[in-house]
Amino acid sequence: MAKALIRMPTEAKRGEVVEVKTLISHPMETGYRRDSMGQPIPRHIINRFVCTYNGQEVFRAEFFPAIAANPFLSFFTVATETGEVVMQWTDDQGTTQTETVRITVT
Amino acid sequence: MSARRSSSLLAITLLVLGMALSVSGQGPERGDAIRAEDKRSGYSFVSPETRAMQDDDLANPGFLWVLEGQEIWRTSAGAAGKSCADCHQEAPASMKGVAARYPAFDARVGRVINLEQRINGCRLQRQQAPALAYESRELLALTAYVALQSRGLPVQATIDGPARASFEAGRAEFLMRQGQFNLSCAQCHEDHWRQQLRGLPISQGHGNAYPAYRLEWQTLGSLQRRLRNCNIAVRAEPYPYGAQEYVNLELFLAWRARGLPVETPGVRR
Amino acid sequence: MGKVSRRRFIMSAAGGLALLRPALRGSAEASPESAAAALKAIRGEAPIREGKVTLDIPPIAENGNSVPLTVSVESPMSTAEHVRSIHVLTEENPLPNVAHFTLGPRAGKAQVSTRIRLAKSQKVIAVAALSDGSFWSGSAEVVITLAACVEE
């Protein structure tokens, strides 16, 4: 679907609260715009973002058309254990994009 | 007051007004009257939030195109089956300083060309691949990726020798009144920079951050797209993308912005 | 044409320029009533108290296409006491809902940042649902400046 950038620490101390910053390319077409011929451009947005940490959901976002194009999202999570932080975006057409970051927790 | 006296008064008023309005850029170098110490990038005219967006590579949407450009750089294309990397290896080394000196005279085509045209030159000649269209995702991505390698370096295009004619044509374009509103670039960006136009300050009109992510476009776009917007804004018919008039103007603008750092990918409103 | 277009025309006539902005924004507009309906859907019959929720958003935004927003909620974010969810709404966008965020004790800190679209100058509201069943809200007024040049 898109290019995605993620910034989060790959190493942390147990219990440390870490920031996860994400940026993904998507036009986030609101459904309210019209093209140059006056025809409505259909809505097409990323409507869901889910972050899981070793399989457990730790953060979720539901997006509406008022989220700006190329959505930027920053949130926090507790570094509980070594493992995989998986981020998945889903759009109106059901297309998903998944990115994984490995974190080592000591 | 008689009709004849009032019409002479009107004529004199208009003459004086016309003269006052025509003195744009009558400094030592026409079209470059802003003092060196006052020269400022568009960065300084946007809000602190927009600056913060540019400053953080993770928050800067332009980097989504840079990421794609990095992938295209390594991807084989065309009948020759070559990638950019096959000839140029790693871009941070080979492309350093390149964008900072474009537009530049290209001996092979015998005229001044911009960075987009240089990239397409490689596509056509070396990769035997079709040229990429202006504002296409791929061309924006490659241009942003190449220009990123000059980020922080001072803009320094050559205007001498074979580039001179193009430079002077670009200057003439900059000073020419155009459109229904009959405004030249200089009138806003030389004479009235920093003043408010409908609530927002007018910039000096430098192109050092392009291709840039404009909030208005909600996407990355080229300097030519921005220049076309200006043409339309004064109700002038824009030239087609790739027109030599734009390339000449880009060269003049690069000279006018000399010394300012390349900021690509910039974030602007 | 609504009040926004008329004001623009008067301003442009005064400036000697006649500019018409293409209608990018929808004609269907939210109102405080539909924002209230969206709030009701979030909290049911429970009251919403003002407090604990802070919005960090510029009071004047250069362009309504992308306005940075950070919502923070005071909370220890422990298993016993944490923020379950944060909801962002607007009063005058075509749709009141902007985003719903689901947190929980694994979040560690009840703070989320994103960039939102605002169709015009208006109030942005954030509501936090806490683990004890209570609802708290904060809001901020944002002014959207119009772009000077109409270009495309």
CATH code where residue B34 lies? 1.10.760.10
Q: What is the mean pLDDT of residues B61-83?
A: 97
Contact indicator for A40, A83 with CB cutoff of 8 Å: no
Q: Given this model, what pLDDT does residue B182 score? A: 97
Q: Give me the phi and psi of A47, to 5 degrees please.
A: -110, -10
Reported as a pLDDT band with limits 50, 70 and 90, residue B26 is very low
Q: C67 contacts in B (CB within 8 Å)?
A: 49
CATH number of the domain bearing residue A59: 2.60.40.10
- Report, in angstroms and rounded to the nearest whole number, the Rg of chain C calculated over CA atoms: 18
Output the average pLDDT for chain B. 92
**Per-residue confidence (pLDDT) for residue C147, from 0 to 100:** 65
The pLDDT score that the predictor gives to residue C20 is: 37
Q: Which residue ranges of chain A lie beneath pLDDT 50?
A: none
B156 by Cβ neighbours in 10 Å (0-12 / 13-18 / 19+) ranks as middle
Q: What local confidence, expressed as pLDDT, does residue C98 receive?
A: 97
Q: Are residues B181 and B255 in the same domain?
A: yes
Contact (CB<8Å) C148/B198: yes
Are the Cβ atoms of B229 and C11 closer than 8 angstroms?
no
What kind of fold does domain C28-144 have according to CATH?
Immunoglobulin-like (2.60.40)
User: Residue B186: is its pLDDT beyond 60?
Assistant: yes
Q: Indicate whether B94 and B168 sit together in one domain.
A: no
pLDDT band with cut points at 50, 70 and 90 for residue B252: very high
Q: Which residues of chain C have pLDDT under 70?
A: 1-32, 146-152
More reliable by pLDDT, B17 or B133: B133
- pLDDT tens digits for B106-118? 999 999 999 999 9
Residue A69 has phi, psi (to 5 degrees) of -55, 155
d(CA B26, CA A14): 67
| Least confident interval from B75-84, B252-261, C18-27, C57-66 | C18-27
Contact assessment for residue B28 and residue B187, using Cβ atoms and an 8 Å cutoff: no
Q: What's the gap in Å between the CA of C100 and the closest CA on chain B?
A: 21
The total number of structural domains that make up chain B: 2
Nearest to B218 among C62, C65, C151 (CB): C65
Contact B230, B173 (CB under 8 A): no
Average pLDDT, chain C: 83
CA C93 to chain centre: 8
pTM: 0.88
Q: Stretch B7-15: mean pLDDT, rounded?
A: 61
- Tell me whether residues C151 and B230 touch, CB distance under 8 A: yes
Interface predicted TM-score (ipTM) of this complex, two decimals: 0.96
Of C15, C61, C65, the CB nearest to B216: C65
Instruction: Give the pLDDT confidence score for residue A43 in this predicted structure.
Output: 96
Please give the tally of structural domains in chain A.
1
Q: Which of residues 66-125 of B touch C (CB under 8 A)?
A: none
Average pLDDT over residues B193-220: 94
Tell me what pLDDT residue C2 has: 41
- Please work out, in degrees rounded to the nearest 5, the angle formed at the alpha carbon of residue B50 by the alpha carbons of B47 and B51: 85
| Domain region containing A94 | 4-32+43-105
Query: Does B221 have pLDDT greater than 70?
Result: yes
Which residues form the domain of B112?
Answer: 62-148
